[in-house]
Structure 1
């Protein structure tokens, strides 16, 4: 099958569409300031281990953080552990003990409905695979004319590899019932017992529980930090969705060819980049109409996936856990941002930004506006939807090899959330960040200027003693002074 970038390269990749929109005349940052100061809704949480194995240490850490004012413990509720044995057969024994231990220490619960795999990512010291029955159950299903087969629910990358870490969003209509059933089982198990102890339910929307594609994960070669990663839009379901989206947008293949400067002979020739490396090194993702349309669809598909899963969970929870907000996590993909050949490329491969807007403009959230404003799609709903953003502890490092703007990115997202009226909370990306004064200084700077209203520390044992405990205790005291 002939791919679009092949056709574009034949005409020099310079038959691009319109340039990105210019920044607004008054474009500039709108620092929200220290909104958490004096806010009774400020929260200070910690993350539990991926799996508790030493219960005495766990209880000691809980007592330590509770003593200086931590509110709640975030706990991964692994789909593969609870429902791994068989479809609709749930084993809650481990979580019965975990939740009872946490609440006995006087701490609230912030469970994560973890519809993703544990293991294979930075900091993972535990493995929990998605239920094996899931792949088998849908292997014989045909959807949108595609017979799924054993890998039909999985992302497929530009390298032709499949990821089993999470279900691709293009398969959502098939598997939302699985997320609903799991959420209902969770609600039935704990809705009465911990009705007011659950203060937030976080929802996994992708690998590592984050709203992103598995673009720098282990199924592909040479795509880890600090590379651009790999596009994950090559499954038959993804390609079919792209074709439908493009045809819907332009109305006809003739209009597509006019917009893209191509001579595609059939809709079947519409697809993701045939040469992904050239797509980035030529800057087609920024400078061509095809590139911007593709990235728009890729980013929009991710945001729509987030909305579908969040709505499913909210409906399944019903009126149980009446005090609980709903949280989703967006990772700070901070590397390759100033790369001289393909700037912002890793944010593109992970699905986090658009390139049809001015990615240098504060008014567009530097490309993040749509993913930040996902929370706004739930305005007027039964629960507050909260965005959690990572990498608060990091510095900028805009030179080779990282080409990172981590600290700047924290500011961009803070500004975008403030403009959108989205409640924003933060996390550190790496555990080491809360073992150093520099990391804590950066966290405090993010709160002082950029609108973060709560912090979840990865992980609890890093702030149960030593300098991590001292800095977190002082941080909490600033935002929640003693009466």
Structure 2
């Protein structure tokens, strides 16, 4: 198993859309994702204009491809050696999803259900065409307007409530199928470009999928639906994503691997363990590699043990010899290099490296790790100081 450590600085780094793209959005605000109240989101361009020449005569997908091609040409001497995997951004925070739960300016707060992002003219044009093709033109004028606000809970809304909710009606099925398919189609387009551009470069291509575990225990799974994952109590929304990635030989990268159900707010019916299990089964069925990462900064053995358990993919229905292909540990900061945290982390990495076949106890592994901790102490102290500046 490959283990990556991701750095985290005290100041949050925001990488916005290029200035020349925001200038085009100023000319045509509908290039940005839009909610039903007209609020625009500038984290990523609307999927509705994926194939339209709205960026100075080029489509967004063509621009994404040009960027990937430039990256390949400038870093070709590092590909396959120093750079062994390229995670292709598919949306906000690099994840394949809609920006349905924006934290900026306090718009959304955990565990709100989020909001649909399909009210720009390009998305509405696609919805209109889909409704006409389905013989229901009356369904194509707008997205759901009874799905509540960003910080509502499912039962607060007519659309997401468990009894008689619009999500579980013919209209709801039509809308959610279209909404999620737009996301899948976007993934197909970007991956088609990525796999073509990096073919033969010796790198894996991976895609990050968000771990939306809150309200997972409800029937509608509202936060997943607004993010574009058509996953409900009656429908598997992760298998189509896994199958799409499998068609392009990409890695399915998933988060919240360190979480346990009981650690999260139970009134919000959070279930990260059940969600990870569902994703493990979906990726197993699609025969696509699964990689993971933790969502929160954790340095305790309890979290490490959960990561080990989740990465072993010991779930009913999964192949016995299967495990996660890689794990990214978040985050590299001064806390990680605290003596006790570092000692636990070294033992954790050693255990991860040994894989699911190892059956040794933590104490034995930690004793072996002591020597490494002692040898690396001067470097660790130096790293901790550096990260504080």
TM over 0.5: yes
Decide whether aligned partners of structure 1 residues 325 and 404 sit closer, same or farther in structure 2, where only a CA change above 3 A counts: same
Task: Compute the displacement of 1:233 (Å).
Answer: 1.2
Deviation string for 1:166-223 (max 9, x for gaps)? 1222222221121112111111111024443221111011111111111111358653
Q: Residue 214 of structure 2: which of 317, 321, 335 is its match?
A: 335
Q: Does 1:304 align with 2:185?
A: yes
Distance in 1 between residues matched to 2:221 and 2:79, nearest whole Å: 43
TM-score (normalised: structure 2):
0.77
Q: CA RMSD in A?
A: 2.6
Q: Is the 8 A contact 1:157 1:220 kept in 2?
A: no
Q: How many residues align?
A: 328
User: Which residue number corresponds to residue 352 of structure 1?
Assistant: 229
Aligned equivalents of 2:205, 2:23: Cα separation in 1: 31
Take 1:208 and 1:328, find their aligned partners in 2: how far apart are those partners?
A: 11
What SS does the corresponding residue of 1:414 show, helix, strand or coil?
A: helix
| Residues 50-91 of structure 1: CA deviation (Å, up to 9, x unaligned) | 6xxxxxxxxxxxxxxxxxxxxxxxxxxxxxxxxxxxxxxxxx
1:289 Cα deviation from its structure 2 partner = 0.5
Gaps of 5+ in 2: 52-58, 149-157, 316-322, 359-389
1:438 alignment partner in structure 2: 302
| TM-score (structure 1 length as normaliser) | 0.63
2:351 to 458, 461, 474: 474
Structure 1: unaligned runs, 5 residues or longer: 1-41, 51-122, 141-148, 258-263, 379-383
Distance 1:292 1:191, change over 3 A: same
Q: Which residue of 1 aligns with 2:141?
A: 270
Equivalents in 2 of 1:369, 1:387: separation in Å?
A: 11
Select 1:423's aligned residue among 257, 271, 289. Answer: 289
> Following TM superposition, by how much is the alpha carbon of 1:283 offset from its aligned partner in structure 2, in angstroms?
4.9
CA distance in 1, matches of 2:72, 2:82: 13
Question: Does structure 1 retain, via aligned residues, the 8 Å contact 2:255–2:294?
Answer: yes
Residues 127 and 219 from structure 1, CA distance in 2 versus in 1: closer, same or farther, beyond 3 angstroms?
closer
Q: Distance in 2 between matches of 1:402 and 1:124?
A: 30
Q: Which one of 204, 210, 214 corresponds to residue 99 of structure 2?
A: 214
Match of 2:160 in 1: 280
Report if aligned partners of 1:170, 1:305 keep a CA contact under 8 Å in 2.
Answer: no
Corresponding residue for 1:47? 6
Q: Structure 2 vs 1, CA of residues 124 and 233 (structure 1 numbering), >3 Å: closer, same or farther? A: farther
Structure 2 residue 157 is the aligned partner of structure 1 residue 157: no
State the distance in 2 between where 1:180 and 1:274 align. Answer: 35
Q: Which residue of 2 aligns with 1:59?
A: none
Question: What is the 5 A alignment of 1:385-404?
Answer: 385-397=250-262, 400-404=266-270
**RCO higher in structure (CA 8 A, sep ≥6):** 1
